[in-house]
Amino acid sequence: MIGSPMNQNESYDDHHLAAEIRIMFWVMAKTMREDMEKRLQAAGIEVSHLQIGMLRIVNHEGGKTISELSKTLMCDPSTLVPSSEGLVRKGYIHRVRDPQDRRRVLLYVTEEGLRVMDTLDAMPEDDVLLTCVRHMGTQDSQQLLAHMRQLVIYLPSGASMYEQIQARMLAQMHPTSQSDTETPARTTEKTDL
């Protein structure tokens, strides 16, 4: 087993397995975040990791309130307020009052925000994860993905999260004709409320 500190005859108990998996996820997440930050910096785009998550969700789902974003991102709404303010100041999102309920303020991605999303979604040939996948090979990468899907599904609310992930992946692979229609998410109008 590549990279294993144990020989084949040793076994881990569930606690050790979970601990090492947690560490491996942390290392991967940190490495991928640093790689993304380096690409964004090279493109002159200054956004935080939280703001990237917000942009991704608003770009995919459009018309989200801070409260709805906080549920998806699993953090307190007060945490998102400064991040959304920063995104508005940079011109990446804009606010629009919900026509059905004037008390609700919806966030939409602007044209400039779409440019940022193109940078975020682009996977250059030297992407750190793409490089790892190529080194692992297709079969091992597919097995890893299958196991990661299982882990996500077993999380609390995991089945729902997995469905959202699949919908986002499908939307990225097969963009709809939504961009051809005029929606608040596709306009350059900025309504700062």
pLDDT along the chain (193 residues), means of 10: 52 87 94 87 85 88 87 87 94 91 91 87 86 96 94 89 82 52 44 49
Q: Three-state secondary structure along the chain?
A: CCCCCCCCCCCCCHHHHHHHHHHHHHHHHHHHHHHHHHHHHHCCCCCCHHHHHHHHHHHHHCCECHHHHHHHHCCCHHHHHHHHHHHHHCCCEEEEEECCEEEEEEEEECHHHHHHHHHHHCCCCCCHHHHHHHHHCHHHHHHHHHHHHHHHHHCCCHHHHHHHHHHHHHHHHCCCHHHHCCCHHHCCCCCCC
pLDDT value of residue 186? 44
Query: What's the pLDDT score for residue 183?
Result: 44
Retrieve residue 110's tokens: 């602007």
- The encoded tokens of residue 163 equal 């469905």
Query: Which domains are seen in the chain, by residue range?
Result: 45-122+181-193 (1.10.10.10)
pLDDT number for residue 9: 47
The reported pLDDT for the residue numbered 193 is 53
> What pLDDT sits at residue 10?
58
The whole-angstrom separation of Cα 31 and Cα 25 is 10
> Which residue in 189, 152, 155, 190 sits closest to 168, CA to CA?
152
Whole-number pLDDT of residue 110: 94
Residue 174: half-sphere exposure toward Cβ, Cα within 13 Å: 3
